[in-house]
Amino acid sequence: MSSVVNKHIAVWFSSGAASAVAAKLTLDLYGDANKISIINNPIKEEDKDNIRFLNDVQKWLGVEIQFALNPKYPAHSCVDVWDDRQFMSGPLGAPCTSELKKVARQHWELTNKPDYTVLGFTSEEQGRADRFRLSERDTLLTPLIECGYDKQACFDTLHSAGVEVPRAYRLGYVNSNCIGCVKATSPTYWNHVRKMDPDTFLTRAKQSREIGAKLVRVNSTRIFLDELDPNQSGRPMKSYDFECGIFCEEMVEQNATE
């Protein structure tokens, strides 16, 4: 790891615990000999507490976090993307990920030209990191994996530093991405959204009905959100079943078949 010298390293911070600790390790491991940029893709539909978390992480790191935006969507809103594209989600992902994260990331990279990329892959995710190197780029640095940090270690590190994790985790969500993620198909997830964030559930149900997007799958059949029985459940929610990464990945819907 120490062989990386005089390079520009881009750390993509997703307002989650793992990417926050990945940023800290990157600064500790590479900060003395390299330029480190920490970048966030702001998304309007994320929980508002993510802004508080970002500010707390910024103070903890002692480095200003930059923002990467797609100029086509200045409000950085998933709802705007879905309205514009008249499409919400499919087997390969969602247009909000492509427009607000991938395109925004590419726009930033064209201007800033980083040499290496850091994502918050934890020690449980060696396979994901390997696939990323093969399918996206081989200039990936994985400080969490190299230092043996799993997801729990990331939470423990933030707790020790006095940084409170995003509210979304405390509400039972498995990540701190958008509330009401349209890449999720599990009735367990959507009824959790209905319980914890009823206004968001109603907003997704209304827009998906208008667009014709059947977002939830019950017994292998796609249905509209407003058709979902409030008591219906499937498999328990699992981490990363529908995580919205900075880089597009083919969707793996482990909760899809009930």
We report the CATH number of the domain holding residue 145 as 3.40.50.620
pLDDT digits (tens, 9 = 90+) for 64-73: 999 999 999 9
Q: Is residue 41 part of a domain?
A: yes
Q: Is residue 139 part of a domain?
A: yes
Q: For residue 156, name the pLDDT band (cuts at 50, 70, 90).
A: very high
Q: Is residue 123 part of a domain?
A: yes
Share of the chain above pLDDT 70, in %: 91
Q: Is this model's pTM higher than 0.85 or not? A: yes
Question: Which residue range forms the structural domain that includes residue 118?
Answer: 8-167
Shortest CA distance to 109 belongs to which of 135, 145, 136, 77?
136
CA distance 154 to 148: 10
Q: Is residue 176 part of a domain?
A: no
**Number of structural domains the chain divides into:** 1
pLDDT digits (tens, 9 = 90+) for 5-45: 999 999 999 999 999 999 999 999 999 999 999 999 999 99
Q: Is residue 124 part of a domain?
A: yes
CA distance 171 to 102: 27
Q: Is residue 187 part of a domain?
A: no
Q: Mean pLDDT in the chain?
A: 90
